Amino acid sequence: MRPKRKRFVVGLVIALSIGGMFCAAFLLNLFSGSELRSRDLLFVAPEHQNGQPDMVRLIAIDDQSLAELGNLSLWPRSYYAELIDILVKAKARVIVFDVLFAEPAPGDEELARAIKDAGNVVLPIVESATSNNSTVSETAWSVDFVRPLSIFEENAAIGHASVLPDGDGGVRRLPIVIRSGEGYEPALALTAVAKYLRRPAVLESPIEGGSLAFAGRLIPVDNKNDMFINYTSTATKDSVVSRPISFVDVLGGGANPAAFEDKIVIIGAAASGLADEFWTPLGRMKGVQIHASAIETILKADFLRLSAPSLSLASILALALLSGLVALRLRVRWAILSVSSLAVGYFLAASVFFDKGVMLNMFYPPLAIVGAFVGVSLYNVATERSQRDRLTKTFGRYVSPSVASRVSLALDQGELRLGGDEQEITVAFADVRGFTGIAKRLPPQRLMEVLNRHLAIVMQSVLKYEGMVNKFGGDSVMAVWNAPTVCERHPLLAIRAAMAAQDAIRELHEKEPTLLRMDFGIGINTGMAIAGNVGSEDRMEYSVIGDAVNTAARLTAAAPGGKVWLSADTFELAKDYVSAKPLSSLQVKGKEEIVVAYEVVGIRSGASLSGEESATV
């Protein structure tokens, strides 16, 4: 498989694997708390969706009521009877109490009379303290309830007031029915709506196919018979949630009776330290406010259900795959923009689905987008680094590793351009003596094999002593020191490399006497030159140019096989470490002045580099 295609396939596999991991986490419900809280983001609409007016009014037993009427436990039941009479005169259609009248108290007869005369009162029942709280969600089990006094219950409708906190303590669901004995008790909200719609019975049919048929509606429930409360149904500034009416204001005639006409009026505790309070998707709410939201949900048919698990799984995998494709195909800036757009698009789609009553998973699909993008991006970085290392290594076979590193760095910094800098360098040429005659005696394939064996020795010696093999010229090698990287004592490094190469070639000839002999003449010169990129913008080469290079080439042309010749400049810089004998003045091609040269005899002791032992002359 081609590297590019392999990288694409592996990237997709990584993206799908990350998506698969999130699918497994979703099925195992590993991050249930985070998933629940992320779903709460859907409940941020400032107004309810269907535009229907609120049909519920809340009368709160608040701090003002306690301040004026005294301790709640000492209130005579006549207060509640008077309240019922006022609401009946105001033509409230249903009167719902979230107050349990389970113990005898003064004024019971008045309250019983008011309930009977009104004929539209709904009272709560609450789970008995002897019941296991966990059974509320397990509706297959029977739950015992504490009920109102019989003189109240016989003339009122009944509904349970239990709410169902999730694992993180938030209330998002309501048990629509709870089993009690041989029958089922409906939720307070369900009973209130049935009374409002004048239904002959609250539970007209059993729950079937994940829905409860009720008054022409299908209330969706989960496998525990719980209904999701759509808090956005009461999320307006003038709603029952935000603007309840004080109990004492209604008793004192301070409330407008028209506010209650044809409404479901729910009465409950809202005073500080008195009311049960829960966390909801819209923040902290009193228990009575939660019941009001549930009533509005049923009345307006603003029902919610979770999206099918198969849709969540498909979304996770599809978004992970798309995110991976973006990371593979686009540059970083565009990839980040595209992935951000993908996430925003999912949130917009979730909002549209929410308006239609379906809650998409808000945790795992967005997480799959981010996870797949990060995973594939890290793979891209690792692959690009590996490719760069491979390219540098391959490039280093054609040029010096130091040049390869310099070119790679210049590419990263965007500084790869023509031109160079003037600096002092040491240049050495190694040229095969009598190569033309050798080439005539050998077939081309054999000639290349023998030449490469000898050139390899020269190249290894150059690299060993920090030089750069700049170019090959058929039967010759050009090496440079102090460019492109700085080398201390570069004249000595070049001389040591040349002597090491000559010694290694002699050893090769001694070990393999049948091998065709090739002897190199080596010339070294030190001087100023221009080091940099030459050529064109489309094709360039790192090289050194100048008179110093030409002088080294001319010395090499004159040097006999097996010898190392130095220019006077090189010898002057390395004379403390090198033994050399002066040669007759040379007239080299291309130079008018006489060139003074020296033949290297050996390296003196004390001229070791990098901890090596030096030969003693």
Residue 563 DSSP label: -
Q: Report the SS3 class of residue 429.
A: strand
Residues 211-268 pLDDT 10s: 999 999 999 999 889 999 998 866 555 555 567 899 999 999 999 999 999 999 999 9
Angle between helices 108-118 and 78-89 (to 10 degrees): 20
Please give the pLDDT value at position 38: 93
CA distance 561 to 458: 14
In-domain check, residue 253: yes
Angle between helices 444-464 and 490-511 in degrees, nearest 10: 140
**Average pLDDT of the residues of the chain:** 87
DSSP secondary structure letter of residue 483:
S
Min mean pLDDT across 18-22, 49-53, 132-136, 526-530 is at 132-136
- pLDDT of 391 reads 64
Looking up residue 429, the CATH number of its domain turns out to be 3.30.70.1230
The average pLDDT across 20-43 equals 93
Pair (491, 537) in one structural domain: yes
> Rounded distance, CA 10 to CA 17, Å?
10
Boundary-marking domain end, from 369, 387, 405: 387
- For the cut 80, the answer to whether the pLDDT of residue 494 exceeds it is yes
What is the DSSP annotation of 354-377? HHTTEE--SSHHHHHHHHHHHHHH
Amino acid identity for residue 239 in this structure: S
Q: Do 175 and 116 belong to one domain?
A: yes
**222 found inside a domain:** no
Kindly state whether residue 397 falls inside one of the protein's structural domains: no
Q: What separation, in Å, do the N-terminal and C-terminal C-alpha atoms of the chain show?
A: 58
Digit-coded pLDDT (tens) for 547-559: 999 999 999 999 9
Total domains in the chain come to: 3
Question: Which of left, alpha, beta for 334 (phi over 0: left; psi -120 to 50: alpha)?
Answer: alpha
Q: How many of the other CB atoms lie within 10 Å of CB of 589? A: 9
Helix (H) or strand (E) segment spanning residue 462: helix 444-464
Q: Report the relative pairing of strands 183-186 and 164-165 from DSSP bridges.
A: unpaired
Neighbours of 511 (CB within 10 A): 8
Residue 497 shares a structural domain with residue 562: yes
Q: pTM of the full predicted structure?
A: 0.67
Does any domain span residue 46? no
Residue 251 in contact with residue 233, Cβ under 8 Å? no
- Claim to verify: residue 265 and residue 317 sit in the same structural domain: no
Question: Domain containing 342: what range?
Answer: 8-28+307-387
Rounded Cα gap, residues 65 and 248, in angstroms: 5
Tokens of 58: 């809340």
Report helix, strand or coil for 421: strand
